[in-house]
């Protein structure tokens, strides 16, 4: 019979294993980005993220400060939105939304011959111009965000971690280039890997840091 552990004990044990395996691989994470990278590895069991994650200067610091002010997060999928810690968001006075399932978004995407993800990001930047944008699925969303930033938009943070094969690698590189050029904070996973789970994990790492709740006990877990 397997040993029964409480959720907090499991998370702490998992994080200890991650730290040990990173050390065995000779990987030392920068202090600023450590919590984010470890949370992504915790969500995926994939140590490739220790090398593929990219952060613009002070992206984590700025993201944490934004969330401490009760910032809004807009995601490209309902899966990513549902994976974000609501109790921590509410504690900080923030919120998270996703427009993907709204009929008006589908209608606009059809009329414009584009994707719902791209239309969702256009709407996000129009309705919440200073929000944090978290993209875990759609390269078209990243390309839309990059285009809008070049045209003057300034989101508080862009998380760009879509997964797949078509335009994924290129869209991430494009986003990172534009964010660096226009001094917009960004967190990106280079390569094909990513997904809604990764986007949510990054959001949660920032939220837990903002709420001083990286240890699960601070979230009410034993």
Q: What is the pLDDT of residues 3-22, one digit of tens each?
A: 677 888 999 999 999 999 99
Reported as a single tens digit per residue, the pLDDT across 28-45 is 999 999 999 999 999 999
State the pLDDT at residue 134: 98
Is 185 among the domain residues? yes
Q: At 1, is the pLDDT very low, low, confident or very high (cuts 50, 70, 90)? A: very low
State the pLDDT at residue 4: 73
Which position among 12, 42, 123, 192 bears the catalytic label? 42
Q: How many domains, the chain?
A: 1
Is 114 among the domain residues? yes
User: Domain containing 130: what range?
Assistant: 52-214
State the pLDDT at residue 66: 98
Enter the tokens of residue 114: 């584009």
User: Taking 70 as the threshold, does the pLDDT of residue 61 lie above it?
Assistant: yes
- Model pTM score: 0.95
Q: At 71, is the pLDDT very low, low, confident or very high (cuts 50, 70, 90)? A: very high
Nearest to 184 by CA among 128, 138, 131: 131
| Burial of 31 (C-beta count, 10 Å sphere; 0-12/13-18/19+) | exposed
Distance CA 123, CA 105 (A): 9
User: Taking 60 as the threshold, does the pLDDT of residue 199 lie above it?
Assistant: yes
State the pLDDT at residue 3: 64
For 31, 90, 106, the CA distances from 119, given in Å and listed in that order, are 36, 27, 8
Percent of the residues in the chain that have a pLDDT greater than 70, as a whole number: 98
State the pLDDT at residue 85: 96
Distance CA 125, CA 15 (A): 35
User: Taking 70 as the threshold, does the pLDDT of residue 190 lie above it?
Assistant: yes
Domain containing 152 — which CATH number?
3.40.50.10230
Residue 19 DSSP code = H
For 94, 96, 111, 171, the CA distances from 221, given in Å and listed in that order, are 21, 23, 47, 38
Q: Is 84 a catalytic residue?
A: no
Is 40 among the domain residues? no
State the pLDDT at residue 8: 87
């Amino acid at each position: 019979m397997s040993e029964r552990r409480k959720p907090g004990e499991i998370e702490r044990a998992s994080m200890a294993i991650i730290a040990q395996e990173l050390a065995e691989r000779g990987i030392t994470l920068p202090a600023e980005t450590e919590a984010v990278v470890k949370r992504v590895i915790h969500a995926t069991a994939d140590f490739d993220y220790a090398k593929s994650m990219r952060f613009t200067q002070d992206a984590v610091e700025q993201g944490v400060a934004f969330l401490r002010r009760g910032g809004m997060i807009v995601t490209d999928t309902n899966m990513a939105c549902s994976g974000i810690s609501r109790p921590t968001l509410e504690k900080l006075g923030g919120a998270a939304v996703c427009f993907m399932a709204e009929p008006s978004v589908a209608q606009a995407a059809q009329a414009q011959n584009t994707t719902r993800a791209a239309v969702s990001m256009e709407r996000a930047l129009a309705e919440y111009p200073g929000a944090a944008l978290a993209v875990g699925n759609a390269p078209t969303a990243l390309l839309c965000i990059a285009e809008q930033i070049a045209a003057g938009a300034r989101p508080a943070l862009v998380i760009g971690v879509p997964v797949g094969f078509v335009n994924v690698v290129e869209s991430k590189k494009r986003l990172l280039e534009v964010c660096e050029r226009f001094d917009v904070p960004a967190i990106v996973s280079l390569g094909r890997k990513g997904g809604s789970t990764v986007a949510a994990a990054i959001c949660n790492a920032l939220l837990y840091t903002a709420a001083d709740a990286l240890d699960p006990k601070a979230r009410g877990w034993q």
